[in-house]
Amino acid sequence: MQKIIFDTDIGVDDAFALAYAAKSMDILGVTTVFGNVPVEQAVSNARLFSQKIGLDVPIYRGSSRPLALAPSAPAWDVHGADGLGGVFDNPWNGAADNAIHFIINSVRAHPDELTLVAIGPLTNIALAINQAPDIVPQIKQLVIMGGAFGTLGNSGNVTPFAEFNIWKDPHAADQVLNSALPVVVLPLDVTHRVRVSGDDIRALRHPVLEAISRSYLQYSLEKEGVEGMALHDTLTIAWLNHPSWFGITESPVRVVTDGISRGQTLRQLNSVASCDDPFAGCRVQKLCLSVEAEKVKKHFLDTLRR
């Protein structure tokens, strides 16, 4: 199994991704970050959900706010009153050891073996590589759910230009995507194409996933006009399991950090010379812009039935 650290602002689709990862990955720890919920809630959600699914891994507390921006509101309307659909009493508090230290120490302990899976804002990752730049060449890869590049009209889900995770901390995202880290990006271009229905979820006979998904399914129907919830964060684990099911485009990526398009992800579309090239010196990253959606969905459902 691949060794991963699972970095999350745990909401409903994050929980689905964690359940999938628990069946197919060696999870060294779960690090939390603000985003869908405040970081204190993310810690308690990660503890509660891990307990519910029988996952015994350490939980760590990470960043509570963006690098440079004022904090913005959590996504209560999408993920429910507590980020997990508001269906369970949660006895856990938000106390936990430091996530940034855990990331740094884990990479040093497992050089060239450890994949970071980041499905929330990239603040923890930015802080880790800022505090310990020596870990960058020791990280096997960073796989993120974030961004949108316009394929099939997928340009944003929190503004017309920006995807939520990147929009929450665009400065961290721009820094991470332009570091020496090898990054694989799973943007809305592919995550919107893999959806599960209420019937799909009920057929899993997984009471916890069924319970937390109800509000998310209702939101998808009422606000997006779509039957079924997009798996979004789950596609990071799908890519690790079956990268051949994704179409990859390689390009440097920049993130707009202010103005009306704050949080927009931009890729290099041509190599025309420019006197002010924003991609000059940027690392080429892997962007997933197409997906064999039915294969991904089937593997996800089959894995959770095991």
Residues with catalytic function? 232
Q: Are strands 114-118 and 253-255 parallel, antiparallel or unpaired?
A: unpaired
Which single residue is written with the structure tokens 């991963």? 4
CA neighbor of 237 nearest in space, from 61, 83, 7: 7
- The whole-angstrom separation of Cα 96 and Cα 180 is 29
Three-state DSSP class for 289?
A: strand
Q: Which residues of 260-289 are buried (b: 16+ CB within 10 A; e: fewer)?
A: ebbbbbbbbeeeeeeeeeebeebeebbbbb
User: Are 139 and 181 spatial neighbours (Cβ–Cβ below 8 Å)?
Assistant: yes
List, in sequence order, every beta strand (DSSP E) within 114-172.
114-118, 141-145
Distance, in Å, from the CA atom of 253 to the CA atom of 181, rounded to the nearest integer, reads 12
The CA R_g of the chain, rounded to the nearest whole Å, is 18
Q: Give the phi and the psi of residue 106 in degrees, each rounded to 5.
A: -70, -40
Angle between helices 207-223 and 39-53 (to 10 degrees): 130
